[in-house]
Amino acid sequence: MVATNEVDELFRRGVEATQAGDNHLAQQCFQRVLDLDPKHERAWLWLADVVDSLEEAIECYKACLEVNPANEAAQWGLKDALERQAQVAQELTRGLGAQSESFVARLGHYLVSHGLITPQQLKQALAEQRRLAGFGRRKRLGEILLEMGAITEEQLQQALDNQTGNFFSRFQD
């Protein structure tokens, strides 16, 4: 049997690597955790964040749900990943490409692309959102970013206004 300390240390290193933006090292750590303990729910969830493709993330969420079908963070992550996958497929089917202007950017994407937050801050906020969801507490990304001090209320409102404007402009002549 594998020492719990080894699994815990590898998991901790994976989390630190994720927070530092080193997805390659994080993948290695989480994969090693799962080699030692295939039923490590949290490793499946964190691995889903650092894998290279949406398909791999979906497989991670599914694996987590095989371990614990009641894991709300995995349920939420799988639902979100499947929705994104369907959106990308729809865009590609229309021949527009995944980065088409025909859809409204997600809040996190908007904030990163406009230089208001870093990709690392977005990852941290999304990880916190998932963690809270695991406890049955839903919190909007904007609220978490405000609490982190990553953005101001004015910046959040500007981003939300921009999203709303982009959405409604799709219906105008």
Kindly give the confidence (pLDDT) of every residue in the chain, 173 residues in length, as a single tens digit, with 9 standing for 90 and above: 466 899 999 999 999 998 888 889 999 999 999 999 999 999 999 999 888 888 898 999 999 999 999 999 889 889 888 888 887 767 656 654 444 444 445 788 778 767 788 888 988 998 898 888 878 888 999 999 999 999 999 999 988 887 666 444 444 54
Q: Which two tokens stand for residue 76?
A: 């939420």
Q: Which two tokens stand for residue 81?
A: 């990943």
Give the span between the Cα atoms of 18 and 108, in whole angstroms. 17
Q: Say what the pTM is.
A: 0.55
Contact 11, 41 (CB under 8 A): no
Contact 161, 109 (CB under 8 A): no
Cα of first residue to Cα of last residue in the chain, in angstroms, is: 66
